[in-house]
């Protein structure tokens, strides 16, 4: 089973899209392993987005993710990272395919509604920034064998 960190960014909450976005992940078969409503501090944002420090968009990104409440969550399931990234769509809403979260709800270059880890290593690092030991649950909801069969490679 794979885990990924997802952040519903301030624009998703301000636009009251949180429930609809979470629903898309759940409908695809991913399971919530942890979730919290919070406001990301500047220090935490700088740690999270450290790989982008020095890039032209970095100051605006920090201002954006710290501008309002967010929901951070861990989703789990087989191929959770690739499934979540496919559901999110391309970074810029105006380039994202219809049917994706960004394609259906986004049009901006700056406000892209959601963050998702891009690899198992970054997922582990990002989850450790937002969740402490013991805060994540590992469980299989009833019926999950109909989403991710044991023989599905």
Residues 6+ apart with CB under 8 A from 144: 29, 31
> How many other C-beta atoms lie within 10 A of the C-beta of residue 48?
22
Phi, psi of 110 (to 5 degrees): -95, -40
Cα–Cα distance, 85 to 96 (Å, whole number): 11
Which positions are annotated as active-site residues?
115
Burial of 58 (0-12, 13-18, 19+ CB in 10 A): middle
Residues 6+ apart with CB under 8 A from 96: 88, 89, 90, 102, 103, 106
Strands 31-38 and 70-77: antiparallel
């Amino acid at each position: 089973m794979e885990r990924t960190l997802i952040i519903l960014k301030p624009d998703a909450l301000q636009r009251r899209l949180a429930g609809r976005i979470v629903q898309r992940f759940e409908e695809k078969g991913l399971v919530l392993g942890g979730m919290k409503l919070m406001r990301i501090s500047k220090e935490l944002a700088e740690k999270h987005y450290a790989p982008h420090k020095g890039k032209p968009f970095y100051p605006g990104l920090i201002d954006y993710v710290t501008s309002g409440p967010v929901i951070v969550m861990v989703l789990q399931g087989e191929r959770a990272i690739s499934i979540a990234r496919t559901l999110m769509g391309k970074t810029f809403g105006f380039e994202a395919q219809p049917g994706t979260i960004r394609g259906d709800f986004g049009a901006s270059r700056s406000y892209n509604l959601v963050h998702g880890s891009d690899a198992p290593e970054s997922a582990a690092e990002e989850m450790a920034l937002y969740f402490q030991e013991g805060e994540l649950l590992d469980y299989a909801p009833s019926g999950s064998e109909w989403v991710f069969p044991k023989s599905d490679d």
